[in-house]
Amino acid sequence: MRAAYFEHFGGPLEVVDLPTPSPPADGVVVQVAANGVCRSDWHAWQGHDPDIALPHVPGHELAGDIVAIGPEVSRWRVGDRVTVPFVLGCGTCPRCRAGQQQVCDHQYQPGFTGWGSMAEFVALPRADLNLVALPEHLGYADAASLGCRFATSFRAVAHQARVAPGQWLAVHGCGGVGLSAIMIATALGVRTVAVDVDDGSLELARQCGASHVVDGRAGDVAATIVELTGGGAHSSIDAVGTTATCLASIHSLRTQGRHVQVGLMVGDDSLPPIPMSLLHGREIELTGSHGMAAHAYPRMLAMVANGKLHPERLVTSHLSLSEGVDHLGRMHDFPGAGMAVVTDMTR
């Protein structure tokens, strides 16, 4: 099979021929029809995830068809159209028993703890618990865009930020996660303020329903949000993962506001100077959001089916596998607006 592949962190990232995988006893092999190119894959390539063993195949936002099934699988058949969260729960740990598979104690992550889906085929364990059936109306590219960034944003907005209609949500960073959050919040009746440093991304944020857009290159972002929202956002999401965006998110909140960290913070940004006196005096909440369990997908898919959510509007480029590798190699610069999806795995 053709696959993206690297042997050293930060080293050459290439398309090579590799053996087609076999299904685990409790899993399946999916022929990948579409795979999103996510900045988390760039972090994997750079060695920012300690769970990755070399050599490695990245990719975790996938949709496709089951082509092989292990003997312990009961819910799925060859030919089923599926997607999957980027965290596959074990089903037996305390987190999984509580329905919180996205923070499973023994999680499996394609593209991180195992070889991923930036390839013609990917093997996925724990299929009965974690696979999600694709509705017939949902295309592969659109489904792949749901797998990490959109689903993570859905949980971040609807569950972790606990937004209510009429409230304000600030979104710092209008890449795939941020644009998804804006679209989801708008569909839930929440007013949004979008922040980015790219004019194209801010225009996409407007198209996704942002009430206001703020150029992160100009002035005091947090003060601007406080003014626009009449006292601060009720909730704020850092979808980038830098010290500057994290602190701007916290300072843009009103009293008893909620900061949700979605962007991965690594290197010099891994220990931001959190203003603890502000958290204490104004009862600010800090939380994270790490994907979404398979059992929570139906609400999101229903909103796609009834036209309240349009993930297809976020897919701005369809790439070949080689083009996807090139795009991934440039993600330290956040290239382009929206989401790039590989839809041709053969070249």
Per-residue pLDDT of the chain (347 residues; tens, 9 = 90+): 999 999 999 999 999 999 999 999 999 999 999 999 988 899 999 999 888 999 999 999 999 999 999 999 999 999 999 999 999 999 999 999 999 999 999 999 999 999 999 999 999 999 999 999 999 989 999 999 887 889 999 999 999 999 999 999 999 999 889 999 999 999 999 999 999 999 999 999 999 999 999 999 999 999 999 999 999 999 999 999 999 999 999 999 999 999 999 998 988 999 999 999 999 999 999 999 999 999 999 999 999 999 999 988 888 889 999 999 999 988 776 666 678 999 999 98
Backbone φ and ψ for 335, nearest 5 degrees, come out as -70, 130
145 and 169, same structural domain? no
pLDDT at 132: 97
137 and 162, same structural domain? no
pLDDT at 85: 95
Closest CA to 233 of 182, 170, 190, 157: 170
Closest CA to 112 of 290, 324, 332, 237: 290
Give the CATH number of the domain where residue 184 resides.
Answer: 3.40.50.720
pLDDT at 239: 95
284 and 318, same structural domain? no
Residue 175 to residue 38: CA distance in whole angstroms: 10
212 and 129, same structural domain? no
283 and 269, same structural domain? yes
Which pair of tokens denotes residue 158? Answer: 């609807």
Domain containing residue 301: 2-149+292-344
Of 288, 305, 331, the last residue of a domain is: 288
188 and 266, same structural domain? yes
The reply to whether the predicted model has a pTM over 0.75 is yes
Of 269, 288, 307, the last residue of a domain is: 288
pLDDT at 335: 60
313 and 280, same structural domain? no
Closest CA to 83 of 292, 232, 265: 292
79 and 43, same structural domain? yes
pLDDT at 143: 92
Give the CATH number of the domain where residue 8 resides.
Answer: 3.90.180.10
